Structure 1
Amino acid sequence: MDASFSEVANKAVSHYPIKADKIMLLSFKGPKSVWAIQTDAGEAILKKIPISEERLKFMIHAIEYLKGNGVRTPGVFRTKTGESYVRSDGENFILLEAIRGRSPEYEIEEELLLVLKGMALFHKASRGIEVPPGTKATSHLGEWNEDFAKRINQLEQWQQERSRATHKTEFDVLFLKHADALLEQARSSLDLLDQPPYRQWVEAAKTEKWLNHQDYAAGNLAITATGELYVYDMDSLTFDLPVRDIRKILNKVMKKRDRWDLELMVKMLKAYQEVHPLTKDQYSVLMADLRFPHLFYGQVSKYYQNREPGWTPHKHVSRLNDMIAAETSKEAVLQSFESRIDEVIGLG
């Protein structure tokens, strides 16, 4: 390991009442870094987190709130002076329990349903959380209309620009072939957000308060040897409707398959419903979010905004083909699902 990384970690760990025997860099992603620390008290995980102290304090408050309500997540070590994080050389660090486990596999149905139940518990456990004085939390509550409208506008701009281009790339041709249909899908999603269920739930959520993890997915989960599911990486917690996390996991799972699977979708939502029941109107908000072509937009923006400069043109085209396949197979499944909502919520 580079000496500078070791020195940074050693300096942060020196604030804790432990002795570090071995330090190993696990991950380095720009301003983020993660180390495994072997100590005289066992293994721990040190994280450098590039968020403000106010947001970090809220994150730690949220971890303790969630743990207190039954969510399995690594605990936060206290420093020699009782602080929950370390401020060193202008950067923030936290030391967490190390959890031994493996990432769940979506292809194993039992593990996938465990993920949905874990997500439901996360949302249920977060309900009612407040933002203590001196801390700061982010929120996307009530922002969906504006966000969707901006994305639609951006897709329309790219469509106009690439339509006028004299020389079109293979990616341009594929994008333009499907842009009209997926823009229509996006506009229908935005129209659904103008209906009462979304507005009413947003107003209720301002009082009831739910947290979204924003990446409650296999890479941030661990199944222990005893079958318990742990969630970590709380850096991106935000206030929003719970169905935003559900939409993301459905998209992650379905894009790995050849096409959207109605029966699997029903099973996933039944598993969620067992732990954190939603109403029919709330599921209609999920349907509105799912109808927006998030996967298509994400891949198109990566290409036109050059957010993955290391990718080859072939990889961009391949990924766009995958996203289009997922998006185009989704609409029929969502229409069919509408007749199964009562079954999911236990009325069918």
Structure 2
Amino acid sequence: MNIAKVMMNYSLNVKKICLLSDKGKKAVWLINAVSGDFILKKIPINEGRLKFMIHSISFLTSNGVLTPSVMRTTNGEEFVAMNGEYYVLFEKVYGKKPKYNKKKELAKIMSGLGQFHKASTGIEIPKNTEPSFLLGTWKDEFRRRYNQLEILKKERKLASNKNKFDEQFLLHVDSFLSQCNEAISILDASCYETWVGNTQRNKTLCHQDFAAGNLALDKKGNLHVFDMDSLTIDLPIRDIRKILNKVMKKQRWDLTLMTEMLSYYQKTNPLSKEQYFVLIADCLFPHLFYGQVKKYYGSTEREWTEKKHLQRLKDMIAIELSKEKVLQAFKGEIDKVLK
């Protein structure tokens, strides 16, 4: 694809086009124009999903979330469709990536996540759009993943050519099947269904990757949020669990750090004690272990070496095992977060 042809749809005097990332279906270019810098993205979602993303960006911006504006074409369109692919041009925002190990910057991330969720509440779904919905799917998804681990366990036990990855998997899979069951039990006893019902009416967006790589702090310390192409309608817990996993992967689970992170979030989007039990259930489920196992056994082509897969599995096992006592102890710390 000649990106210069895409840029002909915009009234910009382009000086230079620089490819920043190309993953096939998804790509990013820096556009240097006389009037300033812009970011062009090839976004691998269908038109209905793309329109909802652009609608969401406008809605979030109107409610105080700082995110790059979508630039319109000379015809007033918010994207360019060419050869079955979709391109969106954004303003370029400069800033530094926040660091998890800096308390003030981690506080910005968590309070910013709370602001994001609060700002998205009440979003409407225009007729010509097609949002992603993961709302209400957790119980079925947890059980499906549990069953997949059970099937893999039986298959690898019977395999005659077990490798080191198989050995590690079989050594620990029963512990994680127990985590699955406990997570499902907690979810069944929680306010999950009621919360889902309320969210079906009011709607809340999850970013799905509200992590340092998709955030920037400008010179004034304001947090900017990027990459909205994975937006989904779901409980805010999905995003909270994901950022907790991101941070805890760096050092293992820590009760004090978890409590601090959630206290920062609580200041901008308060949750109830009952809702935090939904978080406990989601955090307890072995998402990281399952993801690594699926990556290894579910692919016919090895993206990584056997050694890297094995090391990553060992890392995920250590992280997952470190969380059980922390999550149990957190049940007694929730009131500190609510203050």
Calculate the TM-score normalised by the size of structure 2: 0.98
In 2, are the aligned partners of 1:302 and 1:308 still within 8 Å (CA)? no
Instruction: Tell me if 1:311 matches 2:298.
Output: no
Q: Which runs of 5+ in 1 are unaligned?
A: none
Q: Counterpart of 1:275?
A: 268
- 4+ residue runs of structure 1 moved beyond 2 angstroms? none
Using the TM superposition, give the Cα deviation of residue 196 of structure 1 relative to its aligned residue in structure 2, in angstroms.
4.5
1:44 is paired with a residue whose SS is: strand
Q: How does 1:175-186 map to 2 (within 5 A)?
A: 175-186=169-180
2:191 is paired with a residue whose SS is: helix
Alpha-carbon spacing, 1:61–1:136, altered in 2? closer, same or farther (3 Å):
same
Q: Counterpart of 1:234?
A: 228
Calculate the TM-score normalised by the size of structure 1: 0.96
Q: Counterpart of 1:104?
A: 98
Instruction: Tell me if 1:80 matches 2:74.
Output: yes
Alpha-carbon spacing, 1:277–1:45, altered in 2? closer, same or farther (3 Å):
same
Distance 1:41 1:324 in 2: 50
Distance 1:13 1:69 in 2: 30
Using the TM superposition, give the Cα deviation of residue 308 of structure 1 relative to its aligned residue in structure 2, in angstroms.
6.8
Instruction: Tell me if 1:334 matches 2:327.
Output: yes
1:270-302 CA-to-partner distances (Å, cap 9, x unmatched) read 000000000011111001101100011011111
Instruction: Tell me if 1:55 matches 2:49.
Output: yes
Q: Counterpart of 1:163?
A: 157
Using the TM superposition, give the Cα deviation of residue 143 of structure 1 relative to its aligned residue in structure 2, in angstroms.
0.2
Distance 2:190 2:314 in 1: 35
1:18 is aligned, of 12, 21, 25, to: 12
Using the TM superposition, give the Cα deviation of residue 89 of structure 1 relative to its aligned residue in structure 2, in angstroms.
2.1
Q: Counterpart of 1:118?
A: 112
Identity within the alignment, %: 52
Instruction: Tell me if 1:38 matches 2:54.
Output: no
2:200 is paired with a residue whose SS is: helix
Q: Which runs of 5+ in 2 are unaligned?
A: none
Instruction: Tell me if 1:216 matches 2:210.
Output: yes
Aligned residues: 339
Distance 2:266 2:334 in 1: 11
Distance 2:327 2:72 in 1: 47
1:296 is aligned, of 289, 292, 303, to: 289
RMSD over equivalenced CA pairs, Å: 1.1
